[in-house]
Amino acid sequence: MDVSYKTLLLEQKPNGVWILTINRPEALNALNSTVLSEMGEVLRQIGEMSYVDARVLIITGAGEKAFVAGADIKEIHELDEEKALTFAQRGQSIFHEFTLLKIPVIAAVNGFALGGGCELALGCDFIYASENAKFGLPEVSLGLIPGFGGTVRMARAVGQRKARELTYTGGMITAAEALTYGLVNKVVPQAELMTTVMKTVDAILSKAPVAVGAAKFSINQAWDMDVEEAQKNEAKIFSELFHTADVKEGTGAFIEKRKANFKGE
């Protein structure tokens, strides 16, 4: 993908690993319409790739202060009701693309993840954070509520009571607190953040890519189903994997006591 962006850095690593960096350090990587538009384009292109070219997407922020410190307040200040609806729907749609991608999306939160930045992290499959990271939904301080899915995903991440407290007060929590609440998966020193993320990426890369994608699909679909319906759906997805060469390769390698060579087919 040979494209240059005004607000993003996109780096391709070996084995189908992509690192997307929000690159507005002068504005603490705040989200504006350009960021959202460019992010949508990146997700569209990665979504069209085969497993040969795309296996994992990592999202982080430029610099050492912020992952994404929120939406661009100057831009928000100029919105009217109609434009605000469009802006919120656009952000929600783009963050929902993380869910629709067949590959894992990991947030590497390296500083402030506030407002839209917190919502961006919540849209990812899971979150690793540096010790200096801080999370919050401070929109009520601006006379607003989260508009990019924060009131929905925060409750699912930490439970309704904690989500209400965080949203009503608009307060910030530390990475350590976020770990306690189940908002993040792991907290490490900032210098070790990407190394730690890459260790998990390596573990994912060693597994069957179609199976990882199917697991993501099943987990995400289960949110909107009761237990019985979700289990039926899981069984259907499980059975459909037997069309893939990776199932024969994985089970055959286990029987033959050798390392599996998955091809994502």
CA 99 and chain centroid, separation? 8
3-state DSSP call for residue 67?
A: strand
d(CA 75, CA 31) in angstroms, rounded, equals: 9
- ∠ CA 148-223-21, nearest 5°, is 40
Is 78 annotated in the active site? no
21 beta partners: 9, 60
The span from the CA of 182 to the CA of 194, in Å, is 20
Whether the CB-CB separation of 75 and 134 falls below 8 Å is answered with: no
Q: What is the DSSP letter of 197?
A: H
| Catalytic residue (one of 38, 75, 78, 139) | 139
Residues 6+ apart with CB under 8 A from 59: 19, 20, 21, 22, 105, 106, 107, 108, 120, 124
Instruction: Tell me which of 26, 78, 119, 256 is the catalytic residue.
Output: 119
* DSSP secondary structure letter of residue 146: -
How far is residue 241's CA from residue 158's CA, in Å, rounded to a whole number? 32
Q: Is 240 a catalytic residue?
A: no
The Cα angle at residue 230 between residues 52 and 197, in degrees rounded to 5: 40
Please give the structure tokens belonging to residue 204: 């994912």
Active site residues: 119, 139
